[in-house]
Structure 1
Amino acid sequence: MKRNDPSHLDEEQVRKHLSMAELIPAMEKALIDFSRGKVTQPVRSVISVDPPGGFLGLMPALTPDGLGLKAVTFYPSNAERGIPTHMATIFLVDPETGTPLAVMDGRLITEMRTAAVSAAATKLLASPNAKVLAILGSGVQAHSHVEALRLVRNFEEIRVWSPTKEHAERFAKEIGATATSVEQAISGADVIVTATNSKTSVLKGLWLKPGCHVNAVGACRPDWRELDDEAMSNVVFVDSREGAMKESGDVILSGAKIYAELGEALAGKVPPRATETTIFKSLGMAVEDIAAALLVYRSAKN
């Protein structure tokens, strides 16, 4: 490869070089680095595209291990067309010289790193004896979260709900789960994932089992939400305080008090309060994308 000729890695190559088992500890390190102030990362820059109601986001980061940028699009209406709602490209650069190192597909990285971060949160915040997992949503994030969360807890039952009944039933059949109503899915669940395209709350706090843990990964804009005010009145963790206060409708519209960044709890700076009902509001950060892309790049080089 020539000095200024970066590697180009498509989705299948990314899939070949990225494993969830390696990704979870990499995300833990990335979150800790961020909360310790070792990462230079502005809040995502977003251009809204109306119609059709999508957006383009630019996410650069300088980390202790690398430098790069992710460009990501999110078009919820794509679900009706049978194409991905999220698409992305990641650009890695040598932080010492500025030399381009790699350009790679970021859709799968976004899918997997989001679930890996939720797994890190679940590992820390959920009951060690968690047996019932509820997934709200039936898209790629729902699939990826089942894979990731099964690595950190031994679930005996998985429940699925989706706004589209046919999608829920198909997803449930694929993973050996049960498709139910949203309230039935949440009631008594130990761990819950909200991974929907909803712009209004689908999870009510009164349905939550005391001491459960919720990974809220949808609703990534200031006027969107998945959780109601009662749910957000519990112990709230975020990936980034600054990001949550600017981008999370779940946090902004509820007036929720943020207890801590997940990286602070992972580093032992604050107690995890794992016996209480906990909410992890995940928006996704560039530091996570760069850490995942570096795993792919290093594996591909070898």
Structure 2
Amino acid sequence: MRFFDEAAVLQRLDLDGCRTAVREAMVALSSGQTRQLPRSIIPIGAGRLFGQMPGALLNGGYFGAKLISVFAEPDRPGRSAHQGVVVLFDAESGQAVCVADAGAITQIRTAAGTAAATDALALPDAERLTLMGHGHQASAHIEALARVRPLREVRVWGRSIERAQAFCAQMSAATGLSMVAVEDAREAVAHAQIVCTVTGAVEPVLMAEWLTLGTHVNLVGASVASAAEAEAAVVSAGRYFVESRESARNGAGEFLRAIAAGLVAEDCIQAEIGEVFADPGVGRRSPSEITVYKSIGHAVQDLAAAAYLYEQVR
């Protein structure tokens, strides 16, 4: 059995390969070539959860699960809130063949999935990116999105302007991109061609009226029904895409709030992202459209990333 700790995953799981693996997994999910169960979450105590996400890549020869703890500890901000493992089994022999650090897998495959969706839905020449949030996912998203669009300027907003400035300085040195920390959220979003929300917010930090025509929005940070990084009107502001219709009904906070407010009906979902990958014609239709992609995360994405990692070093 292969074991990949955090350092090994970060070193060996490349973004380009992971993006392809996640893209293929989402096409398979939408076409019924995968199986997965809804996330099962067991409360462990105040602010502490244990989650299990099982699934099977029927077209890839693997099955398994992500087992993860989510421990919110505000007094330890440098500590990852998500810890656990992805366990991969061989579908031919039934043998467990790989165990990989779940935090690193999640970090890379989430950014890779966003990049794949952005490549399919954003304007081809989009060069102005706004990130709402400045944690580990923010840095991963900059690297991933720079691989699919010719980024020229990245604006960063967060609740702490000091931390946003430090993040921008670090990322500018690492990437060579023009990084600008912006204290006002509306100003940060103004004129952006790509907006990514990668925060831990449970109430909206992104408003629909801030978006300009042609913008592509990735809603990434909130992954439970009770949380929403964007106001409900963002869902109705343009064409809305999801990872899966079922997961949107169960866990897309912005979508559920938009339905409750009477702004949209369930059929406002234009397509699953796997359907867009398979047929780009169901995605963006014009340069002036606003497109919105909601990412929640799926077991098949984690398993596809782990399988790609395992195949690379087997």
TM-score, normalized by the shorter chain, greater than 0.5? yes
Is 1:57 matched up with 2:51?
yes
- Name the aligned partner's letter for residue 219 of structure 2: A
Q: Is the 8 A contact 1:125 1:274 kept in 2?
A: no
Partner in structure 2 of residue 118 of structure 1: 114
2-structure distance, mates of 1:278, 1:49: 38
**In the TM superposition, what whole-angstrom CA distance separates every residue of 1:166-198 from its partner, at most 9, and x where no partner exists?**
221111111221010211111110001000000
2:156 aligned partner: 160
Give TM-score scaled by structure 1 length: 0.94
Partner of 2:176: none
Deviation at 1:230, TM superposition (A): 1.6
Alpha-carbon distance between aligned partners in 2 of 1:284 and 1:154, rounded to the nearest angstrom: 26
Tell me how far apart the structure 1 counterparts of residues 40 and 99 of structure 2 sit (CA, whole Å).
Answer: 20
Normalised TM-score (structure 2)? 0.90
- What's 2:298 paired with? 285
Deviations 1:186-214 (A, max 9, x none): 11100010000000000000000111001
**1:193 matched to which residue of 2?**
196
Task: Map Cα deviations across residues 218-245 of structure 1 (whole Å, 9 max, x no partner).
Answer: 1111111001122111211111111111
Name the amino acid aligned to 2:257.
L
Aligned partner of residue 35 in structure 2, secondary structure = coil
Partner Cα distance (2:167, 2:75) in 1: 14
SS of equivalent to 1:209: coil
Q: Secondary structure at the match of 1:199?
A: coil
Unaligned runs of 5+ in 2: 173-178
1:132 equivalent in structure 2: 128
The alpha-carbon distance between structure 1 residues 235 and 266, as it changes in their structure 2 partners (threshold 3 A), is same
1 CA distance for matches of 2:54 and 2:122? 31
Residue 269 of structure 2 aligns with which residue? 258
- C-alpha displacement of 1:77: 3.5
The residue aligned with 1:268 is 279
> In the alignment, which residue of structure 2 is the partner of 1:226?
229
Secondary structure of 1:159 counterpart: strand
Aligned Cα RMSD in Å? 1.5
Alignment of 1:170-249 (within 5 A): 170-176=166-172, 177-180=179-182, 181-233=184-236, 234-249=238-253
Contact 1:260 1:270 in 2 (8 A): no
Match of 1:3 in 2: none
- How many percent identity over aligned positions? 35
Task: Tell whether the 8 Å contact from 1:17 to 1:295 is kept in structure 2 after alignment.
Answer: no
Letter paired with 1:123: D
SS in 1 for 2:241: strand
Structure 2 CA distance for aligned equivalents of residues 98 and 108 of structure 1: 25
Amino acid at match of 2:209: L
Among 35, 39, 44, the alignment partner of 2:39 is 44
What letter corresponds to residue 195 of structure 1 in structure 2? V
User: 2:244 corresponds to which letter in structure 1?
Assistant: S
Structure 1, unaligned runs of 5 or more: 1-5
Q: State the alpha-carbon separation in 2 of the partners of residues 29 and 189 from structure 1.
A: 29
